[in-house]
């Protein structure tokens, strides 16, 4: 069995750079969604504030987080990619910034990929696949990050299926926000323990 390659190295980012990148990316994705909705007759996937669907999204997000932790332990290539990516993004952030890390991508990415793209292509297998693959590609920061892209694509499948099955955009939004918050909090806690 070949030994895993070291985690890809990235130039360190500042807190301002990470927050600006998150904000700019969210704005760009929201603008794409808005323009797309202007020209597409399919419309936005319905969004309903139903507490049952909110709880379903929360449970799904926690399930994704647990699955991610398991994949992290079992797949060295994914672990190396995740460590490199999370170090680059999370290292400079302060604890309150993690709220933005959960909300901005969770809202903007779900609005575009599950809210607009999925119904535009179709609430079917093709729509689920294209939505998931597009979501995976968004997480590609280089060819060496392919395991992270594979994992993001699988998560995209789960999120798209949750949108199709429930017909409520709230479910993947809550799941995505919960996953981002849980994984970033766990990563920050582990880093804090290493320094103690």
What does the pLDDT look like over 110-122, one tens digit per residue? 999 999 999 999 9
Domain, as residue range, for 112: 49-195
pLDDT for the residue numbered 195: 77
Q: Which residues contact 91 (CB under 8 A, 6 or more apart)?
A: 12, 191
Mean pLDDT over all residues of the chain? 90
Residues 95 and 184: their CA atoms lie apart, in Å, by 9
Residue 18 located in a structural domain: no
For residues 40-65, average pLDDT: 94
pTM value is: 0.89
Domain-embedded: residue 160: yes
145 vs 61, which has greater pLDDT? 61
CA 92/CA 15 separation, integer angstroms: 5
Model confidence at 2: pLDDT above 60: no
Instruction: Tell whether 6 is covered by a domain.
Output: no
| Domain annotation covers residue 10 | no
The CA distance from 104 to 31, in Å, is 14
Are 135 and 152 spatial neighbours (Cβ–Cβ below 8 Å)? Answer: yes
Question: What pLDDT is stored for residue 9 in this prediction?
Answer: 53
| Cα separation, 176 vs 196, whole angstroms | 30
Residue 176 lies in a domain: yes
Q: Would you say residue 44 lies in a domain?
A: no
Residue 191 lies in a domain: yes
Rounded to 5 degrees, φ, ψ at 154 are -65, -40
Minimum mean pLDDT range among 8-12, 44-48, 110-114:
8-12
Q: Which two tokens stand for residue 106?
A: 């969770």
What pLDDT, on the 0 to 100 scale, is given for residue 89? 86
- Rounded mean pLDDT, 71-88: 89
Residue 53 tokens read as 């669907």
pLDDT at 8: 47
Name the domain count of the chain.
1
């Amino acid at each position: 069995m070949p030994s895993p390659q070291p985690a890809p190295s990235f130039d360190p980012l500042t807190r301002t750079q990470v927050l600006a990148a998150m904000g700019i990316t969210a704005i760009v994705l929201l603008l794409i969604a808005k323009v797309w909705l202007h020209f597409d007759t399919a419309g936005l996937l319905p969004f309903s504030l139903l507490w049952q669907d909110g709880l379903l999204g929360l449970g799904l997000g926690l399930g994704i987080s647990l699955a991610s932790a398991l994949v992290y332990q079992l797949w060295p290539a994914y672990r190396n990619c995740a460590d490199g990516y999370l170090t680059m993004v999370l290292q400079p952030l302060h604890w309150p910034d993690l709220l933005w890390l959960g909300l901005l991508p969770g809202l903007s990415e779900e609005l575009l990929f599950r809210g607009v793209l999925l119904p535009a292509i179709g609430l079917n297998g093709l729509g689920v696949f294209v939505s998931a693959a597009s979501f995976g590609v968004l997480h590609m920061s280089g060819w060496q990050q392919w395991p992270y892209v594979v994992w993001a694509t699988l998560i995209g499948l789960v999120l798209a299926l949750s949108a199709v099955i429930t017909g409520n955009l709230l479910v993947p939004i809550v799941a995505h926000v919960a996953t981002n918050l849980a994984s970033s909090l766990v990563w920050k806690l582990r880093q804090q323990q290493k320094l103690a």
